Chain A
């Protein structure tokens, strides 16, 4: 494992503190960003288009100047260094392969900047090309490579300089769906093998869940939540995270006298909560149609409007008095597919629902 990276740089974390960015001095694009990335971690910035992911990445790379805040690597402050002295590898969405250089020269480019030559250079280029499984392509010109191969060259080129940090801005978004899945596994394997700290940008939540050690959910330039994929999925702390990752049903409710009120039902969540309107969130796979489950539930009267068969699973669209719900049917059978147009109760297991206040924060029952 850990071929070379550790040998060159001591274990060092990246600490981004109080970082903010405004374009033209008015529109705030990043607002008070504080992140600590562990050495060797695969860290993903996830968020909708325009939330500031690229901006943050480019500030780290040194192509943009932040308005306030610092970036520290280990003990060294790096945000004051010019981009070409930061020793940060970058993989670009449009590959950015030098079209006038062949594969070998592309990968050797950064090594020549470091005045490497002879055996050392040869060995490093071969190593990098082998890592991305492109041996034998040395003499090819970029125009004679597929998109996936070009992106591999981009990765090899960034790895060859043995950067202290690897940045990737939606590196797979120009590839077709099948290749995207294949490449993301490759990227993950390479990253694990080299143990190189990586910041990865994507707006594809599935990709983020699949590839990351930790995910940072960004929206409107503000960090919504940082956590491991399972955490982000199962325990969203912000209503935005809940809605952005996976599919989520939201129902309007209220807290009255410490209890949750949903439609006509009022139920205690086992602790006190501040009164006021709330949003109740529940995932499609947690909904139960028909039979009453063993655990405590809120039950709503529903009407199945439509059931869509998706092969491995099916999705039912259920109308309730509080709004529409999407329910996943994991065990698909002709019987439950035929349930379209009938009335059925919908059960929301209490252990699975999340309650968000109007400020978007999760509400947890306080032990009385």
Chain B
């Protein structure tokens, strides 16, 4: 007997069509471009050869690894330290710390870089202040600056992932090691860290991929220290017409590096370390005396460094300015100066984000359902393909879209739709994960009950499944919305004047050294983001969605 083609089979087919058109086709077109000679237009490896021949490019390649590893190590050290302290000791203000960590995840990605410029740049406030005291420190630009900013920007990811894992460790294991005579530090490295290996390697992978995909940070404070992401952007957007072949080859390099790291992480986390039965969880130990001062000091120093950029941005948005130069005293000058730009940029951001998130919610709910409830080769393959957007840096996706949809048959460049489509495909996997997580809470027999009572499966989905996963869907939608609102790198490649968004506007202001107005716009964006995240958590499930 042949299986019937039901609604879900059609949905899966539609899903594959979307993936083919919106993911495989654009990526394939940059693969082709990367293998095409700029001179002859024929198949060639010259673009790749150039990366290794020309100093500028292979420096960037090396820098990509330095920046990626540096950011990863810094974020791991800060994040794990924080997580270990918070899970081990009775730290005051835990809820505050977690809130800050979540907040830090959803602040616009490039705020960090230019806040540090405001503080420690050539004319940085702190640097100048120190200079007037006779202390000279080098400006933040260059390799160390990039690594520092990456670390401070990304440690909240590590903190959230590892502290969840630390909470699930059976405390008896640690006690067992202690009774076997192992001192505390050794216990932490040999027992605890080993047990949370999956979370640590996942954090390492995530922070590495986010570092090498980051574009704003090396662009703003890298100076001599440029990375592949910035090279790709410059090559693609240069005023002299650009060099699509090289931009594509560099994009593919970036993708390959991410891919290799994904595979390495899979390998490192191949052992299942989950414990059969979960025993006692650790009760945080009380702190006294000097130890308390040190632990609290380090914890709050890390947290402070994490939110400092946000504080600086908000504070400086209210500083008096004359042109781009900050004056002493406070005013609403910056807000006044950008007031006329807000409607277009904010309107675009809201429209594009709403459109792409609507798509994500609908496609994510339906396809997430298919993946959970209809396991077969086609749906598992779909699940696997959706890993791809995770490893495609935003700048690469932007370049792929710009390269694919600027000629017949489909011309989309310069439209808002291309930005919506790119955001949709980049964020679909995240949205779908949220659906899948909440779907796992709904027993299949509940749906079968609906069917056996006489409703068509599609009606059961809307009448039973959707109401049950609605809180999860809503929280997931809000989180997708926040990331869509903050998306910079893809949009930067795809926007034209009339489709400018808030992050792109902020980026151009900051590029021109207009920190005051940049801060004012950022503050507006931050406020909207903050309110949405607060709402997501109120709706519940927000924590699961992260």
Contact = CB atoms under 8 A, between A and B. Distances in A.
A110 B468 contact: no
B445 interface: yes
Which among A61, A94, A96, A154 has the highest number of chain B CB atoms within 10 Å? A96
B468 A92 contact: no
Interface string A72-109: 00000000001111111110111011111000000001
A113 B446 contact: no
B467 interface: yes
Interface string A50-84: 00000000000111011110000000000000111
Contacts of B455: 84, 113
Contacts of B464: 98, 100
Contacts of B1: 65-68
Contact of B452 (A68, A100, A158): A158
A100 B467 contact: yes
Interface string B444-486: 0110111111111101100010011000000000000000000
A114 interface: yes
B456 to A, nearest CB: 5
Nearest to B447: A96
Contact of A84 (B4, B451, B467): B451
A157 B3 CA distance: 29
Contacts of B457: 83-84
Contacts of A84: 451-457, 460
A63 B451 contact: yes
Among B3, B4, B443, B448, the most chain A Cβ lie within 10 Å of the Cβ of B448
Nearest to B4: A82
A161 interface: yes
Contacts of A90: 448-449, 452
B443 A110 contact: no
Interface in B200-250: none
A86 B468 CA distance: 25
Main secondary structure of the interface of B (DSSP, over half): helix
Contacts of B3: 65
A89 B452 CA distance: 6
B453 A61 contact: no
Interface in B423-459: 443, 445-446, 448-457, 459
B451 A92 contact: no
B467 A96 contact: no
B445 A83 contact: no
Nearest to A115: B454
A96 B445 contact: yes
Contact of A98 (B446, B454, B456): B446
Contacts of A157: 449, 453
| Residue of A61, A83, A100 contacting most chain B CB atoms (<10 Å) | A83
B76 to A, nearest CB: 41
Contacts of B459: 113
Given A65-B3, A94-B443, A114 B454 contact: yes
Given A66-B1, A100-B468, A87 B454 contact: yes
Interface in A90-142: 90, 92-94, 96-100, 109-110, 113-114
Most buried by A among B1, B451, B454: B454
Nearest to B458: A84
Contacts of A65: 1, 3
Nearest to B470: A100
Contact of A63 (B443, B448, B453): B448
Interface string B520-532: 0000000000000
B445 A99 contact: no
> Most A CB atoms within 10 A — which of B4, B452, B457, B459?
B452
Contacts of B460: 84
22 contacts: A61-B452, A65-B1, A83-B457, A84-B452, A84-B454, A86-B452, A90-B449, A92-B445, A92-B448, A92-B449, A93-B445, A98-B446, A99-B446, A100-B464, A109-B453, A110-B454, A113-B454, A113-B459, A114-B454, A154-B449, A157-B453, A161-B453
Given A85-B454, A88-B452, A99-B446, 11 more contacts: A84-B452, A84-B456, A89-B453, A92-B448, A93-B445, A96-B449, A97-B446, A98-B464, A154-B449, A157-B449, A161-B454
Interface of A: 61-63, 65-68, 82-90, 92-94, 96-100, 109-110, 113-114, 154, 157-158, 161
Closest 9 CB pairs of A and B: A110-B453, A113-B454, A96-B445, A96-B449, A90-B452, A92-B445, A113-B455, A96-B446, A83-B451
Interface of B: 1, 3-4, 443, 445-446, 448-457, 459-460, 464, 467-468
